[in-house]
């Protein structure tokens, strides 16, 4: 019992510091795929809400989408980690992300005593976006690569989200934006979470993934870099210490921190109560990305 009391005392200054502050939490599809992990994490999100913080959830769902597309016999195509999204893929994406997964998360939150509202970027023009076109140099010529209905964030309607937060609701946002003509666009959830954090003037951005954080040695899960100033990121990438899917996550974190967010965190959803450990304890458990000292 004494140990539990010590943990509560340790958490108190963080609860005081973060009371009334917005926390944007992005939950990756690999965690959503595990119902037990997801339910435990959402219970902790509700706890954060009850102690006075304002959590905003952004969720992925790429694994579920890929499964559904395979059932339809539709080939999966990615370019530089971005899903090529034609009309049929967009329809399935909307069904799975805006329908099934978003409502599943809202339902779980309700089941553990919280209040949540499920949203996409189409609701109230929440996430205004434009079509994303990759430009690459091929044989000395600039070539445009068409990704279909894939977008990037132009503007976030912070008024709607702040209204929900100020009335006690947890917004749960699926990564679908809307362009100027009212067409839905598939948006990568990491940069979306970063843009939401900036627009909401969030205290923290937390990316919940399936890895412990940024590792100095990818073969050693214990080599987590606990605190990482943004000036050191480029060196880690150049030296191949950071590569693959971690690069866009760090880019999203840098975008948020440079946009005014106090700190961004990359943590593993496989760690029990990871949000509480990262936010409310002295040591934390993942990687915290900050501005330079």
* CA–CA gap between residue 232 and residue 236 (Å, rounded): 7
- Condensed to tens digits (0 to 9), the pLDDT of residues 223-248 reads 999 999 999 998 999 988 998 889 89
Q: What is the model's pLDDT at position 136?
A: 76
Q: What is the model's pLDDT at position 65?
A: 86
If you average pLDDT over residues 208-212, what whole number do you get?
92
* Confidence band, pLDDT 50/70/90 cuts, at residue 293: low
* Confidence band, pLDDT 50/70/90 cuts, at residue 158: very high
Q: Is the dihedral of CA 293, 274, 254, 222 positive or negative?
A: positive
* CA–CA gap between residue 220 and residue 222 (Å, rounded): 5
Q: What is the model's pLDDT at position 80?
A: 78
More confident position, 80 or 77:
77
Classify residue 178 as exposed, middle or buried by CB count within 10 Å of its CB (0-12, 13-18, 19+): buried
Q: What is the model's pLDDT at position 1?
A: 67
| Average of per-residue pLDDT values in the chain | 92
The β-bridge relationship of strands 263-268 and 78-79 is: unpaired
- Condensed to tens digits (0 to 9), the pLDDT of residues 162-204 reads 999 999 999 999 999 999 999 999 999 999 999 999 999 999 9
Q: What residues form DSSP beta bridges with 265?
A: 206, 288
Which percentage of the chain shows pLDDT scores above 90? 69
- Condensed to tens digits (0 to 9), the pLDDT of residues 95-139 reads 999 889 999 999 999 999 999 999 999 999 999 999 998 877 776
Q: In the predicted model, is pLDDT for residue 81 greater than 90?
A: no
Q: What is the model's pLDDT at position 243?
A: 86
The β-bridge relationship of strands 263-268 and 287-290 is: antiparallel
Instruction: List, in order of start, the domains of the chain with CATH numbers.
Output: 22-286 (3.40.1160.10)
Q: In the predicted model, is pLDDT for residue 77 greater than 80?
A: yes
* Confidence band, pLDDT 50/70/90 cuts, at residue 221: confident
Q: What is the model's pLDDT at position 152?
A: 94
Helix (H, G, I), strand (E, B) or coil at 213: coil
Who contacts 125 (Cβ-Cβ below 8 Å, separation ≥6)?
A: 157, 178
Q: In the predicted model, is pLDDT for residue 140 greater than 80?
A: no
pTM: 0.94
Distance of CA 58 to the CA centre of its chain: 5
């Amino acid at each position: 019992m004494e140990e539990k009391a010590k943990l509560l005392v340790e958490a108190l200054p963080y609860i005081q510091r973060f009371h009334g502050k917005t926390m944007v939490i992005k939950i990756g599809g690999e965690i959503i795929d595990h119902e037990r992990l997801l339910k435990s994490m959402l219970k902790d999100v509700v706890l954060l809400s009850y102690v006075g913080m304002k959590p905003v959830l952004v969720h992925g769902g790429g694994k579920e989408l890929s499964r559904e597309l395979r059932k339809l016999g539709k080939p999966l195509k990615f370019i530089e980690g971005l899903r090529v999204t034609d009309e049929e893929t967009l329809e399935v994406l909307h069904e799975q992300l805006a329908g099934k997964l978003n409502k599943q998360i809202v339902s779980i939150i309700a089941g553990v005593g919280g209040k949540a509202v499920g949203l996409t970027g189409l609701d109230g023009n929440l996430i205004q976006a434009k079509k994303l076109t990759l430009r690459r140099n091929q044989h000395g010529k600039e070539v445009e690569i068409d990704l279909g209905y894939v977008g990037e964030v132009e503007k976030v309607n912070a008024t709607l989200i702040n209204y929900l937060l100020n009335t006690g609701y947890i917004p749960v946002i699926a990564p679908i934006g809307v362009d100027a003509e009212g067409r839905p666009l598939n948006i990568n959830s990491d940069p979306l979470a970063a843009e939401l954090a900036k627009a909401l003037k969030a205290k923290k951005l937390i990316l919940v993934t399936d890895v412990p954080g940024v590792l100095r040695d990818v073969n050693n899960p214990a080599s987590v870099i606990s605190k990482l100033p943004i000036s050191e990121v480029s060196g880690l990438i150049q030296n191949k210490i950071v590569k693959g899917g971690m690069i866009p996550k760090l880019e999203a974190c840098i975008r948020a921190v440079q946009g005014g967010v106090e700190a961004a965190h990359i943590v593993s959803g496989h760690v029990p109560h990871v949000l509480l450990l990262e936010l409310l304890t002295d040591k934390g458990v993942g990687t915290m990305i900050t501005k330079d000292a």
